[in-house]
């Protein structure tokens, strides 16, 4: 007997609705859900392989505990007892306290690092529990994938809008002109811009007469679709975008439009841009001055225009400045917070809109890392500093780690050093379904159930979606006997930190609900102002603590039923009654309510940005030389962890170094032959792929490979291990404001292997 069920795909930010076929206790097929209100049937090869990934025989089904040096299967009770025994003494010896509480920042907290990886934004557990865990632990040693990814955009938003989570997205479906900088949504399916069927939406833009321009050192599949492709020299986008800003002022094209009353610092931006003329930056970006001028004029002339930057604009030396320039260009051309421009989504579980006015603002560097003194950003330290925080002796040295859904041995520069550092820890716990390059160092591995047995709601991505909507899918299959769901795993982990192993994990949810309702009841702007938190909690529905929390957030959110205030509003029950989702309409203007700066306005020229612009000015005298490395994502990949799914391996998804024919001829490299790549962190031997897709002077190697370490359980991946690109990188180069590692535009030396 087969049946079908709905599941939102957790494999990328597009959040497509899947319709899966279930046969017994297995998912046997997955296709796009044509009735999904957002994705309308779109699916990619990763989503289509959902069943194979779900049933991967290498997936762990029971916890592992290290005994006499070896990881062996254990019961869940044994595993959590080992977690408490490993972490509690460190916590008791150093004391804990919430770094969010006033005064608590005086202390660094226990020497326990928390490492959060990418899939946390793709699971219900990852959205709901890590904030509670961090507050309970009170450690400042917090490291996430954000500092090898989008942290520059958070910092830019924090500075501009006073809220690091207020990230405007391109209004894809209504814009007349899309300028893409360092993103390849045809392969990545979009990021910081949730848009199922990104390729279809770009084609629709072209069909309605709109224009697409792509700035990328590679001729990507996205660049091939564009009206114009500029193969910029890696790492020089800040110069190019500043020159566009300068042209807008110089030619009288800067016009902020209706939002003028909510902006400060325009004159300062004009002054900052003064030295960056197209003629001065052209030889550095290797883009002709006249094309830069034309780009600025086109942006200003378009009826509506959106500017969008991703990995190639963030994981670079001037990542925060580039991220800021992306928004500034939209603002200066009157394309901010209006249809067809860049706009702020309004998520169903976000905070309900509040009256405009001054906010708390955004601060950087409230504390610094122990060894290198890196400033915190958004309460995080740079993940490239994790290894040194472990292997450098001294007071406050990290002695244990809680790693949730992260594989930093492959995803972060200098994995070899981190590999050794993790091996030296007194205790490490990983919440991970695989025994991989990172989790092999754990003393306890707690495997979550496969995605078919987990519910899904996109807490993170609804706040980045090009259309407001809400969808929830329950687990498709029941949990295997004794297997806790990932929410319960996180809750039990939190209890272990407090020495409460064995207590009811539901206590964690009850505590969160009590706190949140208490806060709402004391807030004059809340629909439940003055009501009894306990009575409100009684009204919540849901089968689990996590579902009750979802119900609470929906009810208190911008479209919520408000515990009776708006009977037509959203609740969990209403969402469950609409299995294909509820459309909440196109993006709508949100300024000034969305702003949280101290002035209550968009602060266009904050001090840290002006300082970065001055640093960039120092680069105007530097001539380009040498080869630069950039990354690459393949459609059938997902960072480091889909190489174990047979349906997604082989074909074009290969770990090769792409080299331009001119460079190959000069270096006497042959297609398919080996080459040696050397960076400041190490050297690798890689097969060469000669292609005009990369520009001369640039080589490209994908990340997430290097599955040749011992002690892992990744049979398919180990058969075709590839090399770890991040070993070329010592991790010394950072975007200083955000602590984000420079992964693109890294100097490398390429030589033939004789
Ligand atoms: N050179 C270079 N390096 C890069 C990048 C690049 O472009 N170039 N990209 C960077 C970016 S954008 C990112 S986001 C990072 C990603 O860096 P990480 O987050 O460290 O790496 P992932 O490969 O996504 O590993 C995710 C881990 O989560 C586990 N996992 C999968 N599903 C689940 C689940 O449901 N629950 C739990 N608990 N665990 C799960 C996987 O087994 C794996 O161990 O890599 C970065 N590294
Ligand atoms: N198939 C697949 N999809 C994924 C992932 C995956 O691993 N595989 N990972 C997911 C994750 S975690 C993320 S964060 C997103 C990332 O989503 P994207 O950012 O769209 O992904 P990339 O393919 O890395 O695109 C970055 C582009 O920047 C270009 N680039 C490099 N350096 C520069 C530069 O200096 N300037 C400019 N202008 N461009 C530059 C690269 O050539 C590349 O084409 O993708 C997500 N989706
Ligand atoms: S585009 Fe992303 S969300 Fe959609 S099916 Fe593919 S991996 Fe899943
Ligand atoms: Mo990412």
Rounded Cα–Cα distance for residues 371 and 108 (Å): 13
Phi-psi region of 209 (alpha: psi -120 to 50; beta: other; left: phi over 0): left
Rounded Cα–Cα distance for residues 151 and 567 (Å): 39
Say if CB 445 and CB 60 are below 8 A apart: yes
Mean pLDDT value across residues 445-455: 98
Ligand 1 centroid – CA 170 distance (Å): 25
Average pLDDT, the chain: 96
CA atoms within 13 A on the CB side of 290: 0
Nearest to 227 by CA among 280, 168, 177: 177
In the predicted structure, residue 96 carries a pLDDT above the cut 90: no
Mean pLDDT value across residues 321-349: 98
Q: Which residues of 336-375 are buried (b: 16+ CB within 10 A; e: fewer)?
A: bbbebbbbbbbbbbbbbeeeeeebeebebeebebbbbebb
Mean pLDDT value across residues 204-224: 98
The preferred substitution site among 43, 121, 195, 645 for testing ligand 3, maximizing ligand atoms within 8 Å of CB, is 43
Give the model's pLDDT for residue 101: 42
SS (H, E, C) 124-177: HHHHHCHHHHHHHHCCCCEEEHHHHCCHHHHHHHHHHHCCCCCCCEECCCCCCE
Task: Give SS3 for 270.
Answer: helix
Closest atom, ligand 1, to C-alpha of 438: 44
Handedness of CA 403, 406, 412, 417 (dihedral sign): positive
Neighbouring residues of 101: CB distance < 8 A, sequence distance ≥ 6: none
CA atoms within 13 A on the CB side of 286: 16
Give the model's pLDDT for residue 98: 47
Q: Is 316 in the pocket of ligand 2 (CB under 6 A)?
A: yes
For 462-477, write each residue's pLDDT tens digit.
999 999 999 999 999 9
Token pair for 191: 């990021």
Say if CB 411 and CB 117 are below 8 A apart: yes
Ligand 1 centroid – CA 410 distance (Å): 9
300 confidence band (pLDDT: 50, 70, 90): very high
Say if CB 115 and CB 404 are below 8 A apart: yes
Token pair for 645: 């799914």
In the predicted structure, residue 332 carries a pLDDT above the cut 90: yes
Q: Is 460 in the pocket of ligand 1 (CB under 6 A)?
A: no
Model pTM?
0.98
Percent of the chain, pLDDT > 90? 95
β-pairing, 26-32 vs 427-431, is unpaired
In the predicted structure, residue 737 carries a pLDDT above the cut 90: yes
Rounded Cα–Cα distance for residues 421 and 416 (Å): 9
Q: Is 408 in the pocket of ligand 1 (CB under 6 A)?
A: yes
Say if CB 338 and CB 588 are below 8 A apart: no
Give the model's pLDDT for residue 653: 87
Rounded Cα–Cα distance for residues 238 and 236 (Å): 6
Token pair for 304: 């509506």
Token pair for 366: 């409230």
For 563-619, write each residue's pLDDT tens digit.
999 999 999 999 999 999 999 999 999 999 999 999 999 999 999 999 999 999 999
Ligand 2 centroid – CA 633 distance (Å): 6
For 668-702, write each residue's pLDDT tens digit.
999 999 999 999 999 999 999 999 999 999 999 99
Q: Which residues of 571-583 are buried (b: 16+ CB within 10 A; e: fewer)?
A: bbebbeeebbbbe
Paired with 64 in beta bridges are 73, 445
Nearest to 424 by CA among 404, 441, 411, 444: 441
Taking the mean position of all CA atoms in its chain, how far away is CA 614? 28
Ligand 4 centroid – CA 651 distance (Å): 23
In the predicted structure, residue 709 carries a pLDDT above the cut 50: yes
Token pair for 743: 């992964």
Say if CB 745 and CB 240 are below 8 A apart: no
The preferred substitution site among 183, 291, 702, 735 for testing ligand 2, maximizing ligand atoms within 8 Å of CB, is 183
In the predicted structure, residue 225 carries a pLDDT above the cut 80: yes
Give the model's pLDDT for residue 95: 62
Domains and CATH numbers, the chain: 66-140+382-446 (3.40.50.740), 151-344+597-617 (3.40.228.10), 627-752 (2.40.40.20)
For 515-540, write each residue's pLDDT tens digit.
999 999 999 999 999 999 999 999 99
Rounded Cα–Cα distance for residues 381 and 368 (Å): 8
Task: Give SS3 for 407.
Answer: coil
In the predicted structure, residue 105 carries a pLDDT above the cut 70: no
In the predicted structure, residue 350 carries a pLDDT above the cut 70: yes
Q: Is 118 in the pocket of ligand 1 (CB under 6 A)?
A: yes
Q: Which residue, chain included where needed, has tokens 């002077």?
A: 697
Give the model's pLDDT for residue 353: 86
Token pair for 410: 């492959």
Give the model's pLDDT for residue 707: 98
Mean pLDDT value across residues 708-737: 97
Phi, psi (deg, nearest 5) at residue 598: -65, -30
Say if CB 545 and CB 491 are below 8 A apart: yes
Q: Whole-angstrom distance between the N-terminal and C-terminal Cα of the chain?
A: 59
Give the model's pLDDT for residue 108: 80
The preferred substitution site among 123, 189, 198, 648 for testing ligand 3, maximizing ligand atoms within 8 Å of CB, is 189
Phi, psi (deg, nearest 5) at residue 40: 50, 35
Phi-psi region of 278 (alpha: psi -120 to 50; beta: other; left: phi over 0): alpha
In the predicted structure, residue 652 carries a pLDDT above the cut 90: no
Question: Which of the 8 DSSP states describes residue 683?
Answer: E
Q: Which residues line ligand 3 (CB under 6 A)?
A: 9, 11-12, 14-16, 43-44, 46-47, 189, 196
Q: Is 193 in the pocket of ligand 2 (CB under 6 A)?
A: no
For 416-440, write each residue's pLDDT tens digit.
999 999 999 999 999 999 999 999 9
Say if CB 378 and CB 146 are below 8 A apart: yes
In the predicted structure, residue 97 carries a pLDDT above the cut 70: no
Task: Give SS3 for 214.
Answer: strand
100 confidence band (pLDDT: 50, 70, 90): very low
Which protein residue has the closest C-alpha to ligand 3 atom 5?
47
Integer CA distances (angstroms), 168 to 164, 202, 326, 464, in order: 11, 18, 10, 8
Rounded Cα–Cα distance for residues 716 and 720 (Å): 7
Percent of the chain, pLDDT > 70? 98
What is the radius of gyration, based on Cα positions, of the chain? Answer: 25
625 confidence band (pLDDT: 50, 70, 90): confident
Q: Would you call 50 exposed, middle or buried from its count of C-beta atoms within 10 A (0-12, 13-18, 19+)? A: buried
Rounded Cα–Cα distance for residues 449 and 444 (Å): 16
Ligand closest in space to the Cα of 187: 2
Rounded Cα–Cα distance for residues 673 and 690 (Å): 10
For 141-187, write each residue's pLDDT tens digit.
999 999 999 999 999 999 999 999 999 999 999 999 999 999 999 99
Q: Cis peptide before 290, with omega less than 30 degrees from 0?
A: no
β-pairing, 17-23 vs 26-32, is antiparallel
In the predicted structure, residue 219 carries a pLDDT above the cut 90: yes
Ligand closest in space to the Cα of 703: 1
The H-assigned helical ranges of 302-357 are: 311-314, 319-332
CA atoms within 13 A on the CB side of 163: 19
Q: Would you call 589 exposed, middle or buried from its count of C-beta atoms within 10 A (0-12, 13-18, 19+)? A: middle
């Amino acid at each position: 007997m087969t049946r079908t069920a709905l599941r939102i795909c957790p494999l990328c930010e597009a959040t497509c609705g899947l319709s899966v076929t279930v046969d017994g206790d297995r998912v046997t097929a997955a296709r796009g859900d044509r009735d999904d209100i957002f994705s309308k049937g779109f699916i990619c090869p990763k989503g289509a392989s959902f069943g194979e990934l779900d049933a991967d025989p290498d997936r762990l089904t029971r916890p592992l505990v290290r005994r006499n040096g070896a990881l062996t299967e254990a019961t869940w009770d044994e595993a959590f007892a080992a977690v408490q025994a490993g972490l509690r003494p460190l916590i008791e010896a150093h004391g804990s306290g919430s770094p969010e509480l006033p005064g608590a920042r005086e202390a660094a907290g226990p020497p326990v690092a928390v490492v959060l990886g990418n899939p946390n934004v793709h699971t219900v557990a990852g959205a709901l529990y890590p904030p509670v865990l961090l507050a309970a632990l009170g450690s400042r040693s917090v490291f996430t994938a954000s500092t090898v990814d989008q942290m520059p955009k958070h910092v830019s938003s924090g500075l501009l809008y006073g809220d690091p989570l207020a990230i405007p997205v391109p209004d894809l479906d209504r814009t007349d002109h899309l300028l893409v900088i360092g993103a390849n949504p045809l392969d990545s399916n979009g990021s910081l811009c949730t848009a199922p069927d990104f390729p279809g939406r770009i084609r629709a833009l072209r069909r309605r007469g709109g224009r697409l321009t792509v700035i990328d050192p590679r001729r990507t599949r996205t660049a091939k679709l564009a009206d114009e492709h500029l193969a910029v020299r890696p790492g020089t986008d800040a110069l190019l975008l500043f020159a566009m800003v300068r042209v807008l002022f110089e030619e009288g094209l800067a016009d902020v439009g209706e939002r003028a009353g909510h902006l400060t610092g325009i004159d300062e931006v004009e002054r900052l841009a003064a030295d960056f003329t197209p003629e001065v930056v052209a030889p550095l970006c290797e883009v002709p001055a006249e094309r830069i001028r034309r780009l600025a004029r086109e942006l200003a002339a378009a009826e509506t225009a959106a500017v969008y930057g991703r990995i190639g604009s963030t994981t670079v030396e001037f990542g925060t400045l580039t991220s800021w320039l992306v928004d500034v260009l939209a603002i200066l051309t009157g394309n901010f917070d209006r249809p067809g421009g860049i706009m702020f989504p309004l998520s169903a579980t976000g905070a309900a809109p509040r009256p405009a006015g001054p906010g708390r603002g955004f601060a950087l560097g409230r504390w610094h890392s122990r060894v290198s003194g890196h400033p915190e950003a958004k309460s995080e330290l740079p993940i490239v500093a994790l290894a040194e925080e472990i292997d450098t002796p001294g007071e406050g040295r990290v002695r244990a780690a809680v790693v949730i859904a992260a594989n930093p041995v492959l995803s972060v520069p200098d994995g070899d050093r981190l590999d050794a550092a993790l091996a030296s820890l007194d205790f490490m716990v990983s919440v991970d379904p695989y025994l991989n390059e990172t989790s092999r160092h754990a003393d306890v591995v707690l495997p979550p159930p496969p995605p078919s047995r987990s519910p899904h709601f996109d807490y993170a991505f609804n706040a980045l979606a090009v259309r407001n909507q809400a969808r929830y899918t329950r687990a498709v299959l029941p949990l295997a006997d004794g297997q806790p769901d990932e929410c319960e795993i996180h809750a039990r982990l939190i209890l272990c930190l407090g020495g409460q192993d064995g207590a009811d994990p539901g206590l964690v949810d009850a505590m969160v609900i009590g706190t949140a309702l208490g806060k709402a009841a004391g807030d004059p702007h809340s629909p439940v102002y003055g009501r009894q938190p306990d009575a409100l909690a009684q009204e919540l529905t849901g089968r689990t603590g996590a579902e009750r929390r979802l119900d609470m957030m929906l009810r208190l959110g911008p479209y919520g039923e408000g515990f009776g205030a708006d009977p037509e509003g959203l609740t969990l029950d209403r969402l469950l009654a609409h299995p294909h989702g509820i459309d909440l309409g196109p993006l709508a203007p949100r300024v000034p309510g969305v702003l949280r700066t101290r002035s209550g306005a968009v602060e266009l020229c904050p001090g840290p940005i002006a300082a970065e612009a001055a640093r960039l000015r120092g680069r105007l005298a530097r001539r380009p030389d040498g080869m630069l490395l950039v990354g690459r994502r393949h459609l059938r990949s997902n960072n480091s962890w889909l190489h174990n799914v047979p349906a997604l391996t082989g074909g074009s998804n290969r770990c090769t170094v792409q080299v331009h024919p001119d460079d190959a001829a000069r270096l006497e490299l042959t297609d398919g032959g080996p080459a040696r790549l050397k960076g400041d962190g190490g050297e690798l031997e890689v097969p060469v792929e000669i292609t005009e897709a990369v520009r001369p002077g640039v080589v490209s190697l994908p990340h997430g490979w290097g599955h040749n370490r011992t002690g892992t359980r990744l049979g398919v991946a180990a058969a075709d291990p590839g090399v770890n690109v991040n070993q070329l990188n010592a991790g010394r180069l950072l975007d200083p404001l955000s602590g984000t590692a420079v992964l693109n535009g890294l100097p490398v030396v390429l030589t033939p292997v004789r």
